[in-house]
Structure 1
Amino acid sequence: MSKRHSAKHKLDRRMGENIWGRPKSPVNKREYGPGQHGQRRKGKVSDYGLQLKAKQKLKGYYGEITEKQFKRSYTDAVSMKGDTSQNLIGLLERRLDMVVYRAKFTPTIWSARQLVSHGHVLVNGEKCNIASRRIAPGDEITLGSKAQEMALVLEAQGLSERDIPDYLATDGAAKVTYVRVPTLDEVPYPVKMEPNLVVEFYSR
């Protein structure tokens, strides 16, 4: 098992939830945490503990995003008008690698990041290899010709475990248009996310 997969499965078990909704998640078989003390009865979790867990779960869902990148998204969300927790979700969902994942161009967020970094994704007709690039409403995201024939991409498009959300408009199997920035209710998270607790964590 690769380091990437083991880390992903460990996060699932630590949170006690199948964060990405994948059928191979170890949580589907056992919900307790990893390690020899994983089955110990857990005491009452403090408010800080709940906020930290919410932050780790949301940050972990978006793959290999760093703490610095995640906190920058929070800072930007605070500076925007409107609800900070909704702004945070909107900014995270505007990342290019996440749009590629939502469009079902790849089976996982990690492979989406790899596809982008290898130059297989075009934004408005121009190649872009920056996974953290923020996509704006109206932008068109297209798979390169080589990527369209990759087994990874064909596998993702055949997955029945998730659908393409309404805020992306499809144009064939290799092109989507980012229609609008979604609200929390529109984002198809397999588990409940609590960005309001994330905001409380950073605003302590």
Structure 2
Amino acid sequence: MSTAQSDTRLALAAEAQDLLFREARTANTFTDEPVTDEQFREIYELAKYAPTSMNQQPLRIVLVRTPEARGRLVTHMLDNNKPKTATAPLTAILAADLNFHDHLPTVFPHAPDAKDYFADPEVRAHSARFNALIQVGYFILGIRAAGLAAGPMNGFDAAGVDRDFFPAGDLASLVVVNIGKPGPDAWFPRSPRLTYDQVVTVV
């Protein structure tokens, strides 16, 4: 049910709540209407404000636009994800930059030794993935805010994608997202969500 018809105490307008949350769905088919570079830039300008530890911003995005690159990506997708990835107007590979700490002196100037904290590659890789996944959530909200649908997938051979698209070994793929206007029969039936009482405990 649309929140536009119900009382709300949230600062966000009811219509915006519906757009970003209640009526937003994971799309499985898309129209052929293109997603422009200008649209994507606007999406990024919203998503970049996701909170990350020490403002590390490890998310990196590869836009798959050429037929050659799309064909390579499709070979790494699980079978049920191949057709929609082959036909989506735009697909993005979201990855974590394992060398994000190189930017810390610029993006987190308050602690000059912040870069040294991530000298251990294992610590750095864990932090890169964790914080990049926070950014992924904001990225999906940015897509919805643009009036588009997102089809995020982790059903792919991540090691194969990394070898193919990130041979230098400095990026680790996390999620592949199809982006566009939803097409015919784009939605599976809405799956149930856990209730407030099933999730929230007060101590």
TM range (shorter): under 0.3
Greater strand proportion: 2
Rg larger for: 2
TM-score (norm 1): 0.28
